[in-house]
Amino acid sequence: MPIQVLPDSVVAQIAAGEVVERPSSIVKELIENSLDAGARNIRIEVVGGGRERVRISDDGTGIPPDEAQLAFYRHATSKLTSAEDLTSIETLGFRGEALASIASVSRLTMVTRHIDLPGGTSIHLEGGEMLHHHGVGAPAGTVVTVENVFYNMPARLKFLKKETTEKRHIALLVMRYAMAYPHVRFVLIQDGREVFHSSGSGHLADVLVNALGLDSFKNMVEVSGGESLAEQIHVSGYTSVPNLHRSDRNHITLFVNGRWIQDSRLAYAVTQAYHTFLMTGRYPVAVLMLRVPPTEVDVNVHPTKAEVRFRDADAIFSAIQRAVRRAIVDLAQTPTMRRGWVNSWPGDAAHEMVARYGQHELSLDIQDSGEHTYSRLSSESQLAYQDGLSNDGDLGIPARPRTLPILRVIGQVSAAYIVAEGPSGLYLIDQHAAHERILYEEFMDEQMRKPLVKQYVLDAQTINLPPAEARLLEEHLGVLNGIGFDVEPFGSNVFVLRSVPGIFADREPSDVLVKIISDLELEREPGQKTLEDKVITHVCKQAAVRAGQILSLDEMQSIVRRLERCRAPHTCPHGRPTMLHMTAERIAHEFGRMG
Ligand code: ADP
Ligand code: MG
């Protein structure tokens, strides 16, 4: 498409704003132009953090001589003609603003030659004013040199960030484009020194080795979420194993259709996938590529295009969460990772990498999230644990090794205790405490096993809380959402509840949530429990049968059967006993039958 000036009617629909905020924005816009021009090699040279000079050379299509000057007109673009095109943008640029804006605040030279034409063009502008425009001989492609940015805007110059900050920013920026475009070879030179390059091999892994460093990369696993075609959402990339983590979310890098985006909700989806694998307050390292049909995403919401809007944000959220979860859960279930890791390399790259860097053992130090959680089991013990499975056909009862002898339910006393007989005497079981223990372990197992917790979806309900409780709910929002609640702030003390964990299917949902919050408020429990563990404990407390509830024989049998297979059947998650055991000897003794 030739370069043309957009009609005002289209311009009016484009999210307008400052394009050149700082030197790194120049680097960004010029790289995007090179990529849009189909470049396979992009060389970025920066002097003085971009203030002195930015030069970007590419081997893209170049610009024909009769269009070169037009490229510097505001709203002149070859990437868009009508407002309809805005709904399906596949290029990085589309506003036709960058070159005009950059030229207006700097001294700019462009040398370009179209691949199919013999002669090139050289253009020089200062402060937006065209000073030279003539034909030159040049290799196919485009070289844009931007010098003395903001030389004509002293006020802006004063407020620029430190040179080192800008350098770091530029390096990060270039690395992100290299990740998004592994087929393109990037070279970044700062003050005459090469600080980063990518090979253009087409493998994201190669880029990551250079961008993250080999040590970090060793601790990444591949994510490949071939999501259902109907959804047309595809997630791929790499994410860290649980022993590589960071104290903030900035190491979660996300791309949508080749565009780097900042989206705290999607970063949260990644973090959520590590539920029970990472301690609260720790975040994974991830580089994820999302492919969605262009009609599903609106990039025209912000001038820097780093924010996008999705038509179905929830579908994107769960696709990411599921894909990442699958990658790390698969990992947790594989006893030795060495083979799996190497095999996950594309083709020969695997062998090449091994030859170059040696083999790496992936250690999986899963963070302990509480004293009772399944996640503290090492992979060997998980395996041993599965070997020990026996299934005696109890319907709906987890197939796990038994930790109590088989108990026969005799009846209920005080509507609070189950009386049962075992091979070695009498058991008095606290129905509430036992049920709490059962739910807690089942809940934890479900969290481990499934990418997503079973949820019971409701018609959205709003909940109004007193300010103190509202803050408390806000504080625990992350954890609650991670374990199956879908609750969201909706005004200062109002929340919307859309689903609850499956175990609450037959309870009044808002009531459950309010009770959990007031429990959290009363929380006085000592110990080293994590926030998450605390919340889950309270969730189970709410879901468990109460003292005072008459139970049928079936209900009692179900509790006893499930308790028999708990890992820690003798105590509730708060540490109180679930049962009293009176041995046959003790009973005999009490009746004076022995001794
Ligand atoms: P936009 O990228 O939004 O179209 P720009 O002002 O960045 O607007 O660029 C204007 C036009 O100049 C582009 O549409 C493209 O046709 C041309 N152009 C800019 N940079 C390059 C390049 N490196 N190679 C080829 N063409 C380019
Ligand atoms: Mg552009």
Q: How many Cα atoms sit within 13 Å of 99 on the Cβ side?
A: 31
- What spacing in Å lies between the alpha carbon of 240 and ligand 2's midpoint? 33
- pLDDT for residue 246: 83
Beta bridge partners of 145: 55, 109
Instruction: Say if residue 163 is exposed, middle or buried (CB neighbours under 10 Å; 0-12, 13-18, 19+).
Output: middle
Q: Which atom of ligand 1 is nearest the CA belonging to 100?
A: 6
Cα of 208 vs centre of ligand 1, distance in Å, is 28
Distance of CA 308 from the midpoint of ligand 1 (Å):
21
pLDDT at 512 (0 to 100)? 83
**Closest residue CA from atom 19 of ligand 1:** 33
Long-range contacts of 507-512 (CB under 8 A, 24+ apart): 507/542, 507/543, 509/456, 509/458, 509/461, 510/461, 510/463, 512/542, 512/543
578 pLDDT above the threshold of 70: yes
Of 41, 56, 77, best ligand 1 pocket probe by most atoms within 8 Å of the beta carbon: 77
In this prediction, residue 35 carries a pLDDT of 95
Q: Which ligand is nearest to the CA of 73?
A: 1
Cα separation, 573 vs 438, in Å, equals: 9
How far does Cα 366 stand from its chain's mean position?
A: 18
**Does 300 or 378 have the greater pLDDT score?**
300
| Interval 339-383: pLDDT, tens | 233 323 333 333 343 333 333 333 333 332 322 222 222 232 222
pLDDT at position 366: 30
Which of 233-247, 260-274, 363-377 is predicted with the least confidence, judged by mean pLDDT?
363-377
Ligand 1: residue of 25, 27, 28, 33 to mutate (most ligand atoms within 8 A of CB) is: 33
What's the rounded Cα separation, in Å, for the pair 86 and 94?
8
pLDDT (0 to 100) of residue 115: 96
At residue 65, the pLDDT reads 96
Residue 304 is predicted with a pLDDT of 64
Token pair listed for 259:
């565009």
Contact 107, 151 (CB under 8 A): yes
507 Cα: distance to centroid of ligand 2 (angstroms): 55
Tell which wins on pLDDT, 551 or 352: 551
| Closest approach atom of ligand 1 to CA 99 | 6
CA-nearest residue for atom 21, ligand 1, is 33
* 2 touches 59 (CB < 8 A): no
pLDDT of residue 132: 93
The predicted model gives 555-578 an average pLDDT of 85
Closest atom of ligand 1 relative to the 3 alpha carbon? 16
**Distance from residue 33's CA to the centre of ligand 2 (Å):** 5
What is residue 447's predicted lDDT score, i.e. its pLDDT? 67
* pLDDT score recorded for residue 387: 27
Range 314-340 average pLDDT? 69
pTM for the complete prediction?
Answer: 0.58
Tell me how crowded residue 20 is: count the other CB atoms within 10 A of its CB: 23
CA-closest residue to ligand 1 atom 13: 77
Q: Which helix (H) or strand (E) holds 124?
A: strand 120-126
Q: Of ligand 1's atoms, which has the minimum distance to the CA of residue 141?
A: 24
Residue in the structure block whose two tokens are 């405490």 = 433
Token pair 């990085």 in the structure block, residue: 92
What ligand is nearest to the CA atom of residue 37? Answer: 1
Which ligand ends up closest to the CA of 141? 1
Index of the ligand 1 atom closest to the CA of residue 97: 6
Residue 400 in this model has a pLDDT that exceeds 80: no
Q: Which of 5, 14, 36 to mutate to test the pocket of ligand 1 (most atoms within 8 A of CB)?
A: 36
Distance CA 167, CA 49 (A): 5
Pairing of strands 259-261, 252-256: antiparallel
Between the ranges 217-231, 328-342, 343-357, 544-558, where is the mean pLDDT highest? 544-558
| Pocket residues: Cβ below 6 A from ligand 1 | 3, 29, 33-34, 36-37, 58, 60-63, 71, 76-79, 93-100, 142
In this structure, the dihedral spanned by the alpha carbons of residues 583, 584, 589 and 594, taken in order and rounded to 10 degrees, is -140
Give per-residue pLDDT as tens, 142-201: 999 999 999 998 888 888 888 888 998 899 899 999 999 999 999 999 999 999 999 999
- What is the residue with the minimal CA distance to atom 18 of ligand 1? 33
Q: How confident is the model at residue 16 (pLDDT cuts 50, 70, 90)?
A: low
pLDDT, residue 339, reads: 29
How far does residue 30's CA lie from ligand 1's centre (Å)?
8
**Over 80: is that where the pLDDT of 337 sits?**
no
Residue whose Cα lies nearest atom 8 of ligand 1: it is 96
pLDDT value of position 175: 93
Please give the structure tokens belonging to residue 575. Answer: 């540490």
Quickly state the pLDDT bin for 484 (edges 50, 70, 90).
Answer: confident
Strand 53-58 and strand 41-47: the pairing is antiparallel
Which of 130-134, 137-141, 287-291, 588-592 shows the lowest per-residue confidence on average (mean pLDDT)? 588-592
Q: What pLDDT sits at residue 399?
A: 58
In angstroms, the CA 543 to CA 436 distance is 8
Which atom of ligand 1 lies nearest, measured to the CA of 56?
23
| Contact by Cβ (8 Å): 305, 299 | yes
Which has more confidence, 499 or 286? 286
Q: By three-state DSSP, how is residue 310 classified? A: strand
Most confident range, picked from 35-44, 415-424, 575-584: 35-44
Average pLDDT of span 444-459? 64
CA 387 to chain centroid: 33
Contact 242, 290 (CB under 8 A): no
Distance of alpha carbon 289 from alpha carbon 330, whole angstroms: 20
Ligand with minimal distance to 102 CA: 1
Instruction: Return the higher-pLDDT residue of 150 and 403.
Output: 150
DSSP labels, 427-492: EEEEHHHHHHHHHHHHHHHHHHH-SS--EEEEEEEEEE--HHHHHHHHHHHHHHHHTT-EEEE-SS
Phi and psi angles of residue 33, each rounded to the nearest 5 degrees, phi first: -65, -40
CA 32 / ligand 2 centre spacing (Å): 6
CA distance 252 to 321: 13
Q: Which residue has the tokens 């979860």?
A: 325
| Residue 253 alpha carbon to ligand 2 centre in Å | 22
**Rounded mean pLDDT of the chain?**
79
Say what the pLDDT of residue 109 is.
98
Give residue-wise pLDDT tens across range 127-136. Answer: 999 999 999 9
pLDDT on residue 444: 77
pLDDT at 555 over 80: yes
Closest ligand to the CA of 61: 1
Counting ligands in written order, the one closest to the CA of 39 is 1
Grade residue 219 by pLDDT with cuts at 50, 70 and 90. confident
- Least confident range of 169-173, 405-409, 484-488, 571-575: 571-575
Cα 30 to averaged position of ligand 2 atoms, centre (Å): 7
Answer for the pair 565, 396: CB distance below 8 angstroms, yes or no: no
Read off the tokens for 407: 């108990």
Task: Give the mean model confidence (pLDDT) for residues 408-430.
Answer: 91
> Cβ distance 128 to 47 under 8 Å?
no
Identify which of 184, 152, 165 has the alpha carbon closest to the alpha carbon of residue 44. Answer: 184
What are the angstrom distances between the C-alpha of 589 and each of 152, 302, 424, 579, 582? 100, 81, 14, 20, 11
Q: What is the pLDDT of residue 312?
A: 86
Identify the pLDDT of residue 418: 95
CA-wise closest residue to 397 among 506, 559, 543: 559
Query: How much distance in Å is there from the Cα of 77 to the middle of ligand 1?
Result: 6
Is the pLDDT at 66 greater than 70? The verdict is yes
Instruction: Indicate whether 79 pLDDT > 90.
Output: no
Separation of CA 86 and ligand 1 centre (Å): 17
Inform me whether the pLDDT recorded for 114 exceeds 60: yes
- Look at 282-296, 382-396, 561-575 and tell me which has the smallest mean pLDDT: 382-396
